[in-house]
């Protein structure tokens, strides 16, 4: 039975603890895994409050078509400070990963060499963005989809960090945060491993 092992961890700046403007959403059933990672502009308590609201919004819409969900989030966030967001859905029977991204959430598939970057469109959700474009990629069993906010070093080479992808999704997320967080912004990472 194909399944997804996934985990999202967020960590705010130490002097604003426990506030964090990054938030992840995971909704997994037997057919699909919906994943989202959102970085609200700025940090601190206001960003945290908006991130919490966004998470509830996305959880509620997690069964929807991804471009429509992104568009709805854009409308919902108008007048707010805005956010960058990446939404994805892994179809468990087929391993097809569909996604749409706006702004600088980093998204990569690790497994194939070299890592495959999943592109996002420029923009800020709630402020200015082009029409969200659905893309998809087929991923193989054991592949990892890694989503990170810009509080995490983006340009790392896994070969420099032996063992970074060892263990379960929760172990990997912890290791990524501990090893690659820049320390000058809220940091978050979402790990999705496809298993079948």
Is residue 143 close enough to count as binding Mn ion by CB under 5 A?
no
Of 35, 150, 164, 175, the one binding Mn ion by CB under 5 A: 150
Of 143, 152, 185, 190, the one binding Mn ion by CB under 5 A: 185
Of 39, 102, 169, 193, the one binding Mn ion by CB under 5 A: 39
- Type and span of the H or E element at 170: helix 169-180
Report the distance separating Cα 80 and Cα 78, nearest Å: 5
Given the rule CB under 5 A, which of 90-98, 119-127, 134-142, 178-186 is the region that contacts Mn ion?
178-186
Environment class of 13 (CB within 10 Å of its CB; exposed 0-12, middle 13-18, buried 19+) = middle
By residue count, the chain amounts to 196
CB closer to Mn ion out of 3 and 81: 81
CB closer to Mn ion out of 43 and 193: 43
Given the rule CB under 5 A, which of 56-64, 114-122, 148-156, 164-172 is the region that contacts Mn ion?
148-156
The number of CA neighbours under 13 Å toward the Cβ of 159 is 4
The number of CA neighbours under 13 Å toward the Cβ of 127 is 13
Given the rule CB under 5 A, which of 8-16, 36-44, 136-144, 155-163 is the region that contacts Mn ion?
36-44
Q: What is the DSSP letter of 61?
A: T
Chain contacts with Mn ion (rule: CB under 5 A): 39, 149-150, 185
């Amino acid at each position: 039975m194909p399944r997804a092992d996934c985990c999202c961890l967020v960590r705010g700046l130490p002097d604003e603890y426990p506030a964090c403007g990054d938030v992840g959403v995971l909704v997994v059933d037997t057919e699909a895994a919906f994943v989202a990672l959102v970085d609200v502009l700025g940090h601190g308590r206001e960003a945290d409050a908006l991130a919490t609201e966004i998470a509830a919004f996305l959880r509620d819409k997690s069964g929807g078509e991804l471009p429509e969900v992104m568009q709805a989030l854009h409308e919902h966030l108008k007048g707010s400070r805005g956010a960058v967001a990446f939404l994805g859905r892994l179809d468990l029977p087929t391993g097809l990963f569909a996604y749409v991204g706006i702004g600088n959430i980093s998204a990569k598939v690790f497994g194939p060499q070299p890592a495959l970057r999943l592109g996002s469109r420029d923009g800020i959700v709630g402020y200015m963005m082009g029409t969200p474009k659905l893309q998809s990629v087929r991923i193989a069993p054991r592949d990892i989809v890694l989503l990170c906010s810009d509080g995490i070093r983006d340009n790392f080479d896994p070969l420099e960090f032996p063992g970074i992808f060892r263990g379960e999704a929760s172990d990997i997320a912890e290791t990524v945060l501990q090893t690659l967080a820049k320390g000058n912004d809220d940091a978050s990472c979402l790990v999705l491993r496809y298993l079948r």
